Structure 1
Amino acid sequence: MLFKDRTAAGQVLAQKLADYANRPNVLVLALPRGGVPVGFEVAQALNAPLDVLIVRKLGVPENEELAMGAIASGGVRILNQSIVEQIQIPDEVIASVAAQQQRELERRETMYRGDRPFPDLKGKIVILVDDGLATGATMWAAIIAVRQKQPQEIVVAVPVAAPETCEEICSKVQKVICANTPSPFYSVGMWYEKFPQTTDDEVRELLNKATNNHQPLLF
């Protein structure tokens, strides 16, 4: 399955999440930036509020696409010990990369949320959405961050994922939906016809649009 773009991927994903439509305790949390266009379509289809959870990959110096870990809002930091040990990455290098990504995480928090507080997740069904899963490091950090907020259920939903990563995430949450698990996988972008960088302005525009469109359910 090749998705036209993130919007089309979100529409496909939304169909697979139809059981969660029009439920007052459902919240869609998208991982910026690429997960937001996908999450927007899911939230619209489910008539659920949309928000963001900021997560940053800790890339290996000289090979930043390779994740040695990730950080997430709420002070979460995870490390891929096998990568760290295999490449023998010193602690001071990890600390430096983490500090740099923490600054970017805080910048995005301010940019996307401003003074608006992080949503209350206690007792909620939280659907974590991204545009794809490669190593799963950022999603794992997101899961840990959400768990701290005592949700009723965590659902991970992505249009495309490496088969082994999808399987691994299945052991960490109540439900996982990977619409496409191609093998060999190569990269997330390989499975989209159009895969441009999502901008900060696009993220803010979609969040504002989702807020204006959402009709709270009164039961």
Structure 2
Amino acid sequence: MQHEQIYFKNREVAAFRLLDILPIDSMKLEEWTVLATSYGGVPIAKIISQKLGGNFDLMLSSKIMAENNEDCEIAIVTETEEVVIHEELAKSFEISLDFIFEKSKEVYEKQLLRTIKLYRKNKKISNLENKNVLLVDEGLNTGLTMMACIKTAINLGAKSVSVATPILPSATVPTIESIADDLYFVKKLDHFVFIDFYYDKLENIDFEDIKKF
């Protein structure tokens, strides 16, 4: 049963499956900045950026977890301090907005700033002013990180913001489509388990791996 659910052998295969979906020829008529929205999205975004002949970068972010449940992601803070909240979860856990913003500030200052310093030596993310931006990830679970990255790209002055991901839950599609200019995906599923479930081999990628890219 599990074997039937596997759609991608690895990230490289997923990247080339995405390239089959993307309108590469028409996209090449303009310049693009391709941004990975997670460490796992970096190998895929790198392949796509090379095919597009575009600039490549990684948009850094951190998860904010519920106070009493370290597996429950209630918000995302990006490297520009944009915060996107999973409002339904926050309400169901009765978590105040004050707590979330306070926690976001703490995570930003203690974790994210350190990562920014290590990754790009305190430099800001690529200039996105009037640029076409393609945000890429290995898959979406809740879509919260992607939404935060879309918001960040828009606020950094991007001319257009599109999203490309191999796999995502059907329920996430309308939300992403409502805030992005275009959404490209290989597979959407009504009963989504988690990203790893749909890859035969999804090796963990950490910060040291990212530096090699």
TM-score by length of 1: 0.85
How does 1:35-184 map onto structure 2 within 5 Å? 35-90=41-96, 93-95=99-101, 97-102=103-108, 103-184=110-191
Aligned to 1:202: 209
Residue 187 of structure 1, aligned match among 169, 194, 202: 194
Q: Indicate how the Cα distance of structure 1 residues 6 and 91 shifts in structure 2: closer, same or farther if over 3 A, else same.
A: same
1:117: Cα distance to partner?
Answer: 3.7
Aligned to 2:10: 5
Q: Does the 8 Å CA contact 2:66/2:73 hold for their aligned counterparts?
A: yes
Alpha-carbon displacement from aligned partner over 1:129-160 (angstroms, at most 9, x marks no partner): 11111111111111111111221110011111
Alpha-carbon displacement from aligned partner over 1:62-101 (angstroms, at most 9, x marks no partner): 4333321111121201222221111112456535642443
Aligned to 2:3: none
Q: Does the 8 Å CA contact 2:116/2:122 hold for their aligned counterparts?
A: no
Q: Indicate how the Cα distance of structure 1 residues 20 and 78 shifts in structure 2: closer, same or farther if over 3 A, else same.
A: same
Amino acid at match of 2:175: E
4+ runs deviating over 3 angstroms: 19-24, 61-65, 90-93
Q: Does the 8 Å CA contact 1:20/1:46 hold for their aligned counterparts?
A: no
Q: Distance in 2 between matches of 1:73 and 1:168?
A: 22
**Aligned sequence identity (%):** 24
Q: Distance in 2 between matches of 1:30 and 1:135?
A: 17
Aligned to 1:29: 35
Amino acid at match of 2:155: Q
TM-score by length of 2: 0.87
1:24: Cα distance to partner?
Answer: 5.0
Q: Does the 8 Å CA contact 2:168/2:189 hold for their aligned counterparts?
A: yes
Q: Distance in 1 between matches of 2:52 and 2:26?
A: 6
Q: Distance in 2 between matches of 1:189 and 1:20?
A: 32
Alpha-carbon displacement from aligned partner over 1:85-120 (angstroms, at most 9, x marks no partner): 111124565356424431222122122212544211
Q: Distance in 2 between matches of 1:168 and 1:32?
A: 19
Alpha-carbon displacement from aligned partner over 1:28-82 (angstroms, at most 9, x marks no partner): 0111311111111111221211101112221223433332111112120122222
Give unpaired runs (5+ residues) of structure 1. Answer: 207-219
Q: Indicate how the Cα distance of structure 1 residues 96 and 151 shifts in structure 2: closer, same or farther if over 3 A, else same.
A: closer
Q: Does the 8 Å CA contact 2:138/2:165 hold for their aligned counterparts?
A: yes
